Chains A and B, each alone.
Chain A
Amino acid sequence: MSSPFEYAPAPESRAIVDIKPSYGLFVNGEFVDGHGTSFKTISPSTEEVLSEVAEADDADVDLAVKAARRAHTRVWGRMPGRERAKYLYRIARIIQERGRELAVLESIDNGKPIKEARDVDVPTAAAHFFYYAGWADKLEYSGYGTTPLGVAGQVIPWNFPLLMLAWKIAPALACGNTVVLKPAETTPLTALLFAEICQQADLPPGVVNIVTGAGDTGRALVAHPDVDKVAFTGSTDVGRAIAKAVAGSSKKVTLELGGKAANIVFDDAPIDQAVEGIVTGIFFNQGHVCCAGSRLLVQESVADEVLERLKRRVSTLRVGDPLDKNTDIGAINSAEQLARITELSDLGEAEGAGRWSPACELPERGFWFPPTIFTNVTQAHRIAREEIFGPVLSVLTFRTPSEAVEKANNTPYGLSAGVWTDKGSLILHMANQLRAGVVWANTFNKFDPTSPFGGYKESGYGREGGRHGLEAYLKGASA
């Protein structure tokens, strides 16, 4: 079915963004050449080479950690909280002032729709800096003490490059730590623009250091003996490796890992709202969301109706140019990720699940995957067990609340869950029973800097956001 609506293209101008042909590392307040090689970052929607980025080697990481240590010892760690706060407020304001530029750059480098970068990523990143700025001079009320850990080594993923940077840097700095952050190799550009923002804010040199690179750079950072705190968001496999790498050390660790969230729809749910929530749950950000509602559990009595309305709604989603303001689903972030999504989806078909995608034309260049729904999925199917990290939804059914709980919890992950019902007592019952760090009832994929976020079980440990997010960066009240 082709879309009943036709839209004229509404492209956002990229004139506001000035991408340099090459970038160095940001160490001690300056851009410097790395010792290692460089790599290219491309636009996933066009495969156009955007820039050459330095790949930090062990020596570069060491210099960055040394700069962070110096800045912590001499300046940032001893600065009164109210002064640190003002720097964070400045950063928040500059993110707002340069919001359009950041959104366009994020969309180009990541492939996400401009409307999501503009309306979610950038404002939420600014909000995180505002929120934690206010904590800097109030730490004695946090319950976690006021003593920073020192130098934080932070490794972030490619799905929300700027937002994850804000989640990591804002609380670390508010608590008096300095940071060395490694953005993902496919999406380094907004972190490098953030480095310029630190310069504009006159942030003391070494407080924030950005080292670009891939897995080896991340490993060097995590393993560096002078790093006091490791914060990682990414895959469960890498999280496991990090937990092993820091074993026996005194490094404090927080891990924000994978998920396979159940989005549970009861027969008394407002169906149209639930359908919108299902769409938000799995197709937001191309499904590149660790807390995506990738397993839809529908009560059997309404399964056909929900599925029919869901397919109708998904048929209206517009896939294409991320910079088009009408685009709902942008490009898959990399060829590698597209290959994984393709492989797991083909497996789903091979294992007997019913595959459906709306008729939609995909651009010829770039990395694209249509929104996809699998029906007749059982709990044994790999598409129901493994994190796909793409716009692929598996649909299962249930009859009773206890069956829904059992299926929802039948996963090694425990990051998030959704519940859709009109009945308050059922919402509270389900919220109690679900083993997940975030439960969205009659909504999905909502974030706010005041709200702790993080997983149970193999979705990692620690919380980011809110008062709880400070714990990861302070020595603790009893220490």
Chain B
Amino acid sequence: MSRIDVRKTYKLFIGGAFPRSESGYSYVVHDSKGAFVANAALASRKDARDAVVAARKAFGGWSSRTAYNRAQIVYRIAEVMEDRRPQFVDAVRQSEGLSAARAEKVLDEAIDRLVWYAGWADKITQVVGGANPVAGPFFNLSTPEPTGVVAVLAPQDSSLLGLVSVVAPAIVTGNTVVVVSSYARPLPAVTFSEVLATSDLPGGVVNILTGSAATVAPWLASHMDVNAIDLTGVAGDTELATSLEVAAADNLKRVRRAPAAEPDWSADPGTDAMTAFLETKTVWHPIGV
């Protein structure tokens, strides 16, 4: 008699824990050919709010860690991902319908991107900050600081490389995030959350909701304790993107606008994804005795 395999229940990732959706809802995830793969948790408005609470709670500690330490932890995420290559390759193949070779390449890039961003933690300040030569006896420095809690709508197509490319730049600079994963391809995000949970990342720094951006994002966009929103995940949906921008205006959230189409994630990302969620603080002090 053949062995019955043990199937997994896919859950949300909030505050470092793996709860089911408080709503009790789940939805069916298919592979690229339309076959049933699993039921994923369908995040609700309440889940989104819980995730924001967790992200806010984590912000003080995460943003005040040294850049060196944040770099170590983001690098650690890459290490743990490398360690779980086969699982990620399977997940990406299944979600995106890629060949094994292509899926390997996507995973390589996702891991390398994490390593790249890890290195930015203690360099972004030097690149975008600076000393200002004011016309007077003052010491005056401009330093970038994280914006706060960032809601991230992850790309719909690129389920892993795209996800890493929007999460890593936000957290490496000290923000905490609430991520809504790809609706149709949520499972690589769930696997990624299991990596995060074992990567020394403090609970709440990254919170991942599986479910529909169209349902959850309006609550995040209008949430008064969310400081910024990345609309990448609604690329091409001008109507939804516009309504989210309007909602975000209520507390003047920083908005990273939705692109017309999903970007090429294999291209050099530049620093924009980091600077979109940074503030510049300028500190003055008189010089004299």
Contacts and interface: CB of A to CB of B under 8 A. Distances in A.
Nearest to B134: A448
A440 B238 CA distance: 42
B132 A478 contact: no
Interface stretch (B92-100, B185-193, B278-286): B278-286
B24 interface: no
Contacts of B286: 442-443
A20 B212 CA distance: 61
B280 A452 contact: yes
Contact of A437 (B127, B130, B134, B280): B280
Contacts of B23: none
B138 A463 contact: no
Nearest to B63: A432
Interface stretch (B1-9, B10-18, B115-123, B239-247): B239-247
B282 A453 contact: yes
A443 to B, nearest CB: 5
B252 A236 contact: yes
B281 A439 contact: yes
A459 B268 CA distance: 32
A244 B246 contact: yes
Interface string A226-270: 000000000010011001100110100001010000000000000
Interface string A173-213: 00000000000000000000000000000000000000000
B142 A448 contact: no
Interface in A404-461: 412, 427, 431-432, 436-443, 446, 448, 450-454, 456-461
B34 interface: no
A458 B251 CA distance: 6
B254 interface: yes
Contact of B280 (A239, A257, A448, A468): A468
Interface residues of A, number: 44
B140 A448 contact: yes
B249 interface: yes
A476 interface: yes
A476 B251 contact: no
A457 B252 contact: yes
B284 A257 contact: no
Of the listed residues A239, A450, A463, the one surrounded by the most CB atoms of chain B closer than 10 A to its CB is A450
A90 interface: no
Contacts of A442: 285-286
Contacts of B136: 446, 448
B138 A243 contact: no
B142 A468 contact: yes
B138 A446 contact: yes
Given A437-B280, A457-B252, A468-B142, A247 B245 contact: yes
| Size category, B interface | 35 or more
B264 interface: no
A243 B247 CA distance: 10
A477 B283 CA distance: 27
A385 interface: no
Contacts of B257: 250
A69 interface: no
Contacts of B148: 457
A361 B225 CA distance: 46
B227 interface: yes
Contacts of B272: 476, 478
Nearest to B267: A478
A467 interface: yes
B252 A461 contact: yes
A427 B252 contact: no
A460 B227 CA distance: 11
Interface in B45-101: 64
B245 to A, nearest CB: 3
Contact of B142 (A250, A255, A451): A451
Contact of B281 (A239, A248, A438, A478): A438
A358 interface: no
Nearest to A242: B249
Nearest to B272: A478
Contact of B252 (A239, A452, A477): A239
Interface string B255-289: 00100000000001111100000011111111000
A477 B270 contact: yes
A460 B252 contact: yes
A127 interface: yes
A276 B242 CA distance: 47
A439 B242 contact: no
Contacts of A439: 281-284
A440 B284 contact: yes
Of the listed residues A443, A452, A454, A463, the one surrounded by the most CB atoms of chain B closer than 10 A to its CB is A452
A50 B283 CA distance: 40
B249 A127 contact: no
A401 interface: no
B135 interface: yes
B251 A437 contact: no
Given A440-B284, A443-B286, A457-B227, A448 B135 contact: yes
B215 to A, nearest CB: 20
B174 to A, nearest CB: 12
A291 B252 CA distance: 18
Interface of B: 64, 127-128, 130, 132-136, 138, 140, 142, 147-148, 227, 238, 241-243, 245-246, 248-252, 254, 257, 268-272, 279-286
Interface of A: 127, 143, 236, 239-240, 243-244, 247-248, 250, 255, 257, 412, 427, 431-432, 436-443, 446, 448, 450-454, 456-461, 463, 466-468, 476-478
26 contacts: A143-B127, A240-B250, A243-B245, A248-B238, A248-B246, A257-B252, A432-B64, A437-B281, A437-B282, A441-B283, A441-B285, A443-B285, A443-B286, A446-B284, A450-B133, A451-B142, A451-B282, A452-B142, A454-B280, A460-B252, A461-B254, A463-B280, A468-B142, A477-B270, A478-B269, A478-B270
Given A247-B245, A443-B138, A443-B285, 7 more contacts: A451-B134, A456-B281, A457-B148, A460-B252, A461-B252, A461-B254, A476-B272
The 5 A-B pairs with the shortest beta carbon distances in the complex, nearest first, are A248-B242, A247-B245, A243-B249, A478-B270, A448-B134
